[in-house]
Chain A
């Protein structure tokens, strides 16, 4: 048997330990401990006096930049670790946020609609009250049918007010600016149907605001424009003249704007002339309408 590579200071044997301990005790004697404690007290004392400040400054000066760099790396690592740790939570959070976005989008759309409605209602009220109209009803468009049966019968809308609200047939329907949109044709208890002014079945007694105060009957033209036919050739109609209701019909007051003359058809040999009127109301944007009631 032989002992392979057994340095005394690293020995694991009892003898080795005892020797080490004795050496250590010799080196770490009472005198040394006292000396050590005196050094600590001296350093604390010098620190309190401020005498160590230059040494401390040297340490700060030398190691602060390194410390800052290390701290930034450490924070980066911490950030990365937290990100990894929270990845599962993030996925849940993302799906939660997606749901929230969807909900808020719907809510936002609803609010936008409300805002729009509010603005339209205000406009309706403005024009109705400034015009001195005492009785009116505001109604929401609940359905629209652009094509119904034949091409001649373009455009009708269904609103959420009916007989129970005091609506009767032949009442005029206006938009938020007070322009004529159409005429009530059918009335149910809780809903009504009105035809657009551009519908060929919708007719209004109208007056052109020209020198002759030309009177005629409007009728829709292919769901796009409005015509007034049978105007005597002697009357002068200019493009841009405004067509308004004449007040000759029951329940429809005069002076409600239908549109402006866009085209005058005047044949040299014809007895009558006809004018084409561009309606003032935008029918694509109808959500709330007002109905003037007698």
Chain B
């Protein structure tokens, strides 16, 4: 059990480091790829939400250490993304179809961008230079569009890849037994 925990820890930390160090240096469109959202969608275990939220706290903690934005920001953001995805998952989606995965990715990505930009907009609103409301900024829509596109493509590819390699994501059917 501890070994599995350790492996999971290594995996999560590696994911965060890759996101911070590798993805951030990619070309403009690809750098919007969000491995954490993809991880969230693929490994969403809502029945273990109590445990999962601590993993997202850890992810947020590492983000906060590396991306000195505002310490604590990512520790709130990632668990919130997880809760949002969990809420969607339980109320609107099944958990095995490609469409569920794509839908979760789509809405979680939008949630992530909105929360991120809203936080910084309200943070900057009291500064002497009044910021432009992010929904009116062209860059916001461009990065959101890019983010949605690359995340959806990545999820689509990964879903099919996992389907080829294992039965975990194969649909379950009630089969009529021929007697």
List which B57-71 residues lie within 8 A (CB) of chain A.
57, 61-62, 64-66, 71
**7 A-B pairs with C-beta separation under 8 A:** A3-B172, A12-B94, A20-B47, A27-B50, A28-B53, A43-B71, A77-B26
Task: Give B90's nearest chain A residue, CB to CB.
Answer: A21
Q: Does chain A have a CB within 8 A of B20?
A: yes
Q: Does chain A have a CB within 8 A of B154?
A: no
Stretch at the interface among A32-40, A180-188, A198-206: A32-40
Majority SS at the chain A contact face: helix
For chain B, the bracket of interface size reads 35 or more
Contact B86 A24 (CB under 8 A): yes
Majority SS at the chain B contact face: helix
Selected contact of A40 from candidates B50, B72, B96, CB within 8 Å: B72
Instruction: Add 14 more A-B contacts to A17-B90, A67-B21 (CB < 8 A).
Output: A5-B172, A6-B172, A20-B46, A23-B47, A24-B49, A36-B54, A40-B57, A43-B72, A60-B65, A71-B25, A74-B23, A77-B26, A78-B25, A81-B30
List which A271-287 residues lie within 8 A (CB) of chain B.
none
Contact A10 B95 (CB under 8 A): yes
Q: Could you tell me the distance in whole angstroms from the C-beta of A49 to the nearest C-beta in chain B? A: 11
Q: Mark B65-92, 1 if CB is under 8 A from A, else 0.
A: 1100001100110010001001000100
Residues of B within 8 A of A48 (CB): 71
Q: Mark A233-244, 1 if CB is under 8 A from B, else 0.
A: 000000000000
Contact A27 B47 (CB under 8 A): yes
Q: Could you tell me the distance in whole angstroms from the C-beta of A57 to the nearest C-beta in chain B? A: 10
Q: Does chain A have a CB within 8 A of B13?
A: yes
Contact B174 A70 (CB under 8 A): no
Q: Does chain B have a CB within 8 A of A210?
A: no
Residues of A participating in the B interface, judged by any CB pair closer than 8 Å: 1-6, 9-12, 17, 20-21, 23-24, 27-28, 32, 36, 39-41, 43-44, 47-48, 56, 59-60, 63, 66-68, 70-71, 73-75, 77-78, 81-82, 85
Q: Could you tell me the distance in whole angstroms from the C-beta of A226 to the nearest C-beta in chain B? A: 76
Contact B95 A40 (CB under 8 A): no
Selected contact of A12 from candidates B49, B57, B83, B96, CB within 8 Å: B96
* Complex CA distance for A207 and B173, rounded to whole angstroms: 123
Contact B65 A56 (CB under 8 A): yes
A4, A17, A48 interface centre (most CB from chain B within 10 Å) = A17
